């Protein structure tokens, strides 16, 4: 069917369904021209250069047989050369004296940063500071009476409302795309401090660091990431809430860095099988999978297997909620926690300390394991006890190294090399503790496991429990 015929058929279909009502809906679509005209002036292009060492290309095999090749390799070895690498992103001016917000990854390792405005002015920018965990960076350019964006509140956003993105995808300055808020509070892998805004506004490489506007022309987020299997836009993009970005940037401006709180626990999301094994009807809350023995949580009495349901009156739906509440509050904050333990509610108060990168467990934890294996046929599991040296490395009183899995254990996701250190909230003291748990008649067991230095719970469902 030709384009002309398709247009005619479409017009007829609209008139048959009810032309006037359809026309009203079309005319009611949002008009973004005002936002672009008034706020777009404060959206900037952020270009950077950095120095990288270029590795010499390997010499083809055909030349390596040449007798002169060995001579030159010995007396004139190829030297790595430095080269300048350019990258491009976006940003926006938040104060008339020249403070600019962008993504941390846009300016990472940059030797030079240039900010370009829509009126073709260019400024050398100074990096005031950046925060890798939230992917927020604050720049400063020397200028006065600069155009600025209006800042909104991401907390007021609602799923389904219109949003507008402005940036420089693939270097095309001040490109405008629109969409709706697809979801709120998205948690991405290794991004526990940011409750991302998901939108379907087209975002591509170069948009990073640019603003996300609501229909009032207020910035509600910083476009940061996309989900893509091709490298380009596929209908899912993520923005950092402006509330989070401003909290971070204000700390960077005042102190040059971000101070985060921690209470010394490792957290895990609850699945339905895990919730059932702990006696909860719904998988709501943050499961404590590990506790730093020297941290505030241990001193306050938190244990592995506890499930945090509330923190300072705020409901905890998932581990990300607790990570953000504790991590974005300043060190020294007191948290009143409501905890689910042994099918009862417990109140625990804990005071956060300054967040630091936690120590990791040695990678060779499985080396030197005892070879005498114990088989749990009903679990499809073969384990062996850890040596004294391994227990010291992991900091556990006892552990069972998983040597082989099948049946229920394989289905649950246990892997060879995992170390089982507890069942539910109770630490293992011997192999008999696991045997007793299996014989207890429970249909759901939560095995506490150490895997690659991290502690987590694995739900094991036993259909044939006696």
Q: What is the mean pLDDT of residues 441-463?
A: 80
Quote the CA–CA distance of 406 and 465 in Å, as a whole number.
Answer: 17
Question: Of the ranges 54-63, 80-89, 209-218, 398-407, which one carries the lowest mean pLDDT score?
Answer: 54-63
Structure tokens of 241?
């809430």
- pLDDT-derived band at 9 (thresholds 50, 70, 90) equals very low
pLDDT at 382: 83
70: left (phi over 0), alpha (psi -120 to 50) or beta: alpha
Long-range pairs for 437-442 at CB < 8 Å and ≥24 separation?
438/376, 438/378, 438/379, 438/462, 441/465, 441/466, 442/277
Instruction: Write down the mean pLDDT value for the chain.
Output: 81
pLDDT at 64: 55
Q: What is the percentage of the chain residues whose pLDDT exceeds 70?
A: 79
Contact call for residues 43 and 37 (beta carbons, < 8 A) = no
Asked whether the predicted pLDDT for residue 418 surpasses 70, the reply is yes
DSSP, residue by residue, 109-142:
T-SEEEEE-TTS-EEE-EEEEEETTTTEEEEE--
Structure tokens of 405?
């899995």
Which range scores top for mean pLDDT: 25-29, 406-410, 427-431?
Answer: 427-431
pLDDT at 360: 31
Structure tokens of 20?
């006037």
Q: What is the mean pLDDT of residues 2-6?
A: 39
Tell me the H-state helices in 52-184.
Answer: 61-64, 67-75
Residue from 118, 127, 101 nearest 223 by CA: 101
pLDDT at 375: 66
- pLDDT-derived band at 18 (thresholds 50, 70, 90) equals very low
Contact call for residues 242 and 221 (beta carbons, < 8 A) = yes
Quote the CA–CA distance of 402 and 223 in Å, as a whole number.
Answer: 43
Q: What is the DSSP letter of 176?
A: E
Containing 286, the helix (H) or strand (E) segment is strand 286-291
Just list the catalytic residues. 105, 135, 208
Domains recognised in the chain with CATH numbers: 150-255 (2.40.10.10), 261-354 (2.30.42.10), 374-461 (2.30.42.10)
Quote the CA–CA distance of 413 and 407 in Å, as a whole number.
Answer: 10
Count of beta carbons in the 10 Å neighbourhood of residue 82: 8
Please enumerate in sequence order all residues whose Cβ is within 8 A of that of 254, keeping only pairs 6 or more positions apart, or say none: none
Quote the CA–CA distance of 343 and 306 in Å, as a whole number.
Answer: 10
- pLDDT-derived band at 356 (thresholds 50, 70, 90) equals low
Q: What is the pLDDT of residues 419-435, one digit of tens each?
A: 898 888 788 888 888 88
Q: Would you state the torsion angle of the CA atoms of residues 450, 188, 276, 286, taken in this order, to the nearest 10 degrees?
A: 80
Q: What is the percentage of the chain residues whose pLDDT exceeds 90?
A: 40
Contact call for residues 335 and 348 (beta carbons, < 8 A) = no
SS3 state at 185: strand
Quote the CA–CA distance of 60 and 63 in Å, as a whole number.
Answer: 6
Cα distances (Å, whole numbers) of residue 418 to 87, 180, 334, 358, 388? 41, 43, 35, 20, 17
Q: What is the mean pLDDT of residues 146-159?
A: 95
CA angle 304, 306, 309 (to 5 degrees): 145
Structure tokens of 41?
């002036």
- pLDDT-derived band at 22 (thresholds 50, 70, 90) equals very low
Strand partners, 136: 131
How many Å is the Cα radius of gyration of the chain? 28
Structure tokens of 272?
């339905």
Structure tokens of 435?
């045997």
pLDDT at 455: 83
Q: What is the DSSP letter of 397?
A: S
């Amino acid at each position: 069917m030709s384009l002309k015929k398709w247009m005619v058929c479409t017009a007829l279909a609209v008139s048959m369904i009810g032309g006037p009502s359809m026309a009203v809906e079309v005319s009611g679509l949002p008009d973004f021209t005002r936002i672009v005209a008034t706020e777009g002036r404060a959206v900037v292009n952020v270009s950077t250069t950095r120095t990288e060492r270029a590795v010499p290309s390997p010499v083809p095999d055909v030349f390596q047989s040449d007798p002169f090749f060995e001579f030159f390799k010995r007396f004139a070895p190829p030297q790595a050369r430095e080269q300048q690498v350019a990258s491009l992103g976006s940003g926006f001016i938040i104060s008339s004296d020249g403070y600019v917000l962008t993504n941390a990854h846009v300016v990472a390792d940059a030797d030079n940063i240039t900010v370009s405005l829509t009126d073709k002015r260019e400024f050398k920018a100074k990096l005031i500071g950046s925060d890798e965990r939230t992917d927020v960076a604050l720049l400063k350019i020397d200028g006065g009476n600069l155009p600025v964006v209006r800042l909104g509140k991401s907390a007021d956003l609602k799923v389904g409302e219109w949003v507008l993105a402005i940036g420089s995808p693939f270097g095309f300055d001040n490109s405008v795309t629109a969409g709706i808020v697809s979801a709120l509070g998205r948690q991405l892998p290794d991004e526990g401090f940011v409750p991302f805004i998901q939108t379907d506004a087209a975002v591509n490489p170069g948009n990073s660091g640019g603003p996300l506007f609501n229909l009032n022309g207020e910035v509600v987020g910083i476009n940061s990431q996309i989900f893509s299997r091709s490298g380009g836009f596929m209908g899912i993009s993520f923005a950092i809430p402006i509330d989070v970005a401003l909290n971070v940037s204000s700390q960077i401006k005042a102190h040059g860095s971000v101070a985060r709180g921690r209470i010394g626990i490792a957290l895990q999301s609850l699945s339905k099988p895990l919730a059932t094994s702990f006696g909860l009807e719904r998988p709501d809350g943050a499961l404590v999978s590990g506790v730093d023995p020297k941290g505030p949580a241990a001193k306050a009495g938190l244990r592995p297997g506890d499930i945090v349901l509330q923190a300072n009156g705020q409901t905890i739906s998932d581990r990300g909620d607790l990570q953000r509440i504790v991590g974005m509050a300043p060190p020294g904050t007191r948290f009143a926690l409501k905890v689910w333990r042994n099918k009862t509610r417990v109140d625990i108060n804990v005071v956060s300390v300054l967040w630091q990168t936690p120590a990791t467990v040695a990678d060779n934890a499985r080396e030197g394991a005892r070879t005498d294996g114990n088989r749990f046929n009903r679990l499809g599991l073969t384990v062996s006890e850890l040596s004294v040296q391994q227990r010291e490395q992991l900091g556990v009183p006892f552990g069972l190294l998983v040597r082989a899995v099948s049946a229920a254990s394989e289905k649950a996701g246990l892997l060879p090399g995992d170390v089982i250190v507890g069942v539910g909230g109770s630490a293992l003291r011997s192999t008999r503790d696991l045997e007793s748990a299996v014989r207890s008649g429970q249909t759901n067991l939560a095995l506490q496991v150490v895997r690659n230095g991290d502690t987590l719970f694995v739900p094991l469902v036993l259909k044939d429990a006696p």
